[in-house]
Structure 1
């Protein structure tokens, strides 16, 4: 019998500490070549696309996530895990909780590996699902003493701050500008849908850590190459994915792209971790196979 998990099941069963631990395992497995993580692919379907990310853990399972890009009515995502030996479907997750929580957990793994242990102030631009899940996960790897949040919509900004206070118990302030949100913060998260840069690189304090989650392609990117140029260390969860974007990744053809290091390599000790005082940028692009890894762990 196939196990089917809904959004409410995911919310009930998946705690942030477990999610972060499992995503750390997945990143290391991918680096060792045990978790196969090809770049995502898509098929055109008239006025929209169906996107697939696939993955396989050697000898254990294989599976995929699918989601659409139909602007009028984007549907729920589907994640499917098959048994590697028999091909039998072990489980299915239907809904939109698993993907963002997996991205949040990867973001927390990056913070834990790349940001100073003492980092406790966080500035975030964006108040959507991805912004929330970053905080959900980061709060278990760093003792956040203050959170400052900004988005263009005052109502969403205040509602997000109220939720952070109520559900995560964190001290939070709704900022009046993106600059106020990120300037001087040890940790910065950019989680917007903006097609243009939402911050100026000069606002990032030396020695800070920055995650960017939003658009990052030519002609549509929430940050500019100057942000990565300002960093001493530039890391991503999937170098392969950065080469597979269409339109191309915003750093393609620049010296900044050549500087990108794999997070898995840092975790494994095969690439140097940042040293004290270095500024770090983490480009979250979505390591394939991590959604199925998370579902497989939940299935037990």
Structure 2
């Protein structure tokens, strides 16, 4: 087995997929958020912008883990191929050396869904559930599989604007999970009667895609698509309906996402309904969670999630011999 403490290694997206298991990632996320997390150990993301180019950085030092590091992603409008690449750089606490570079494109989808599932596991009643999915992209696909690992799904109903994509999504869900899945022609049709509702597709015009009067009493909402002020996903009526709102990066979610900004401008008070994911997972807010009848988990994503999942993937990839040793050596400053 290679040793990431002696030389940097690279973990490809293919290797990450090969070693990843939802149960492991969800358990790792619940373990990380059950511990006290100093704000300085998991600061908000930073974004540098100039001339249309941007660079986003998400650093974290998870408590009690061997590795710490940051995820980087960037894009420039001058590129003929304007796609975004992601990389996670991990440092080893034992040696303080750079241990690994991980292709983080797939990791981003994995960690977001694992975090949502970790929250949903504490928010939603046990037992079979009908899942409504708004969206048919990578994030929606990852979330359905993560949710299926913690709850028996009686049915999956999906809506997205393109009929072919949503039909393919439903067919793949049934084939992969053995759960009856179907696509429908409207978001409302998907949501009505659902026990769990996943909003994972902002509209093209940044208009809300989910409204409170569609939701049945007692349903649990997971919203992942509005992460910056310019983005919209859920209507302000959904925020008003909720009696408990859980945020992974609580202040960032409350103050810097388009959905919550719109709710604040509409005069909806929500700060007193909000708790952190740490308080949910650690049990610090158990009384409020038990009393909730209309809970929502709203995610913006954070570096802690990236590093926790990256460590899990690196450890398993090393054990499986699926890392690539890099013929490089960094100078060390003493």
Matches within 5 A, 1:1-300: 1-29=7-35, 31-33=36-38, 36-58=41-63, 60-70=66-76, 73-194=82-203, 195-218=206-229, 220-242=231-253, 245=256, 249-250=260-261, 251=263, 254-272=268-286, 273-275=288-290, 278-300=293-315
**Contact 1:107 1:134 (C-alpha < 8 Å) held by counterparts:** yes
| Pair 1:279–1:103, CA change in 2 (3 A) | same
3-state secondary structure, aligned to 2:270: helix
Deviation at 1:277, TM superposition (A): 7.1
Which structure is larger by alpha-carbon Rg, 1 or 2? 2
Deviation at 1:168, TM superposition (A): 2.2
Deviates more, 1:161-170 or 1:32-41: 32-41
Q: Any idea what the Cα deviations from partners look like across 1:235-277, whole Å, max 9, x if unmatched?
A: 1111132256387953557521342111210211111353377
Q: TM-score, normalised by structure 2?
A: 0.83
3-state secondary structure, aligned to 1:91: strand
| Pair 1:153–1:229, CA change in 2 (3 A) | same
**Contact 1:237 1:284 (C-alpha < 8 Å) held by counterparts:** yes
Deviation at 1:79, TM superposition (A): 0.7
Deviation at 1:213, TM superposition (A): 0.7
Q: TM-score, normalised by structure 1?
A: 0.92
Which runs of 5 or more residues in structure 2 are unaligned? 1-6, 316-334
Name the one with the larger helix percent.
Answer: 2
3-state secondary structure, aligned to 1:155: helix
In 1, distance between residues paired with 2:27 and 2:39? 17
Partner of 2:331: none
